Amino acid sequence: MEKILYLLWRRPEDTAADFRARLLGSVPRSLLEAGVRHVRVNVADDDVAAAAPLAQSCSGQPFDAMLSLWVDTAVWRARYEAQFRERVGRCHAYLICESEPIAHRERMPTDGRRVEGWSQICILTRPDWIACEQWLAVWQGSHTQVAIDTQSTFGYRQNVIVRPLSYAAPPYTAIIEENFPAAAMSSPQAFYAAVGDEPKYRANLQAMMDSCARFIDMNRIDVVPTSEYNWVAPARTPG
């Protein structure tokens, strides 16, 4: 199975509400009918307005939504893209190698209902001062545990970009998905798993920032708060 990520922008004539309604309407079911195993829509909407101060846009082009597809093969992606391409303004597509240090399956509705809390999407570009092998070793070999230990995440997915699948897609290195409780949208202590404990909050914040500085250029990162929705196809029976 392969995973494809699409960064999506709405058409100029569409409002954010119209775009959200379109993505959550007939698109997921049509994708499942076209053979997609699992559809995830992350969209920046009013439900995550409280997290707006956490957003960052170093690329100058923050996306409006992210579409994740789990498919048998990306070779047939044209048949999947036909289900949504006319409904978006533009999109960039990437083939992904996914790692899931924290799975949130027990807290993930699979019928299109909104996942509790909110999902923070971070787009990373590897800094020039660190080699690819070392970058991955720092991120996945040691930073992963720091992130788990210092934040209140209940879902954590690391998407290493294998290659772009669309013309002129920016050369990003990875895309992170982190599920947080709703309180973390507006409470730094809730974000850093230290509600009511200021010393722990400061220690967790410092540990996280120190670890990030080893492999992330903060001038080359996009952060977008989103709501998350999932649709999963029924299990296939043999024969």
Asked, for residue 208, whether it belongs to a domain, the answer is yes
Tell me the per-residue pLDDT of 35-93, one tens digit each, with 9 for 90 and over. 999 999 999 999 999 999 999 988 777 899 999 999 999 999 999 999 999 999 999 99
Asked, for residue 218, whether it belongs to a domain, the answer is yes
Asked, for residue 239, whether it belongs to a domain, the answer is no
| 82 Rama sector, left if φ>0, alpha if ψ -120 to 50, beta otherwise | alpha
Give me the mean pLDDT over the 110-118 stretch: 97
DSSP for 162-219, written as a single string? EEE-STT-----EEEEEEE-GGGGT-HHHHTT-TT-HHHHHHHHHHHHHHHTTT--TT
Asked, for residue 181, whether it belongs to a domain, the answer is yes
The pLDDT assigned to 61 comes to 77
pLDDT at 238 over 70: no
The pLDDT assigned to 214 comes to 97
Where in the sequence is the domain holding 11, given as residue range(s)?
2-232
The number of distinct structural domains making up the chain is 1
The pLDDT assigned to 232 comes to 97
The pLDDT assigned to 190 comes to 98
For tokens 């993505």, name the residue: 23
Asked, for residue 237, whether it belongs to a domain, the answer is no
Q: Look up the CATH number of the domain holding residue 177.
A: 3.30.70.100
Tell me the per-residue pLDDT of 122-154, one tens digit each, with 9 for 90 and over. 999 999 999 999 999 999 999 999 999 999 999
Asked, for residue 238, whether it belongs to a domain, the answer is no
pLDDT at 236 over 80: no
For tokens 């899931």, name the residue: 100
Q: Where does the pLDDT of residue 239 fall: very low under 50, low under 70, confident under 90, or very high at 90 and above?
A: low
Asked, for residue 120, whether it belongs to a domain, the answer is yes
Q: Where does the pLDDT of residue 110 fall: very low under 50, low under 70, confident under 90, or very high at 90 and above?
A: very high
The pLDDT assigned to 60 comes to 78
Tell me the per-residue pLDDT of 183-219, one tens digit each, with 9 for 90 and over. 999 999 999 999 999 999 999 999 999 999 999 999 9
3-state SS class at 18:
helix
Distance, in Å, from the CA atom of 22 to the CA atom of 15, rounded to the nearest integer, reads 11
The pLDDT assigned to 62 comes to 85
In this prediction the pTM is: 0.95
Distance, in Å, from the CA atom of 56 to the CA atom of 224, rounded to the nearest integer, reads 7
Asked, for residue 60, whether it belongs to a domain, the answer is yes
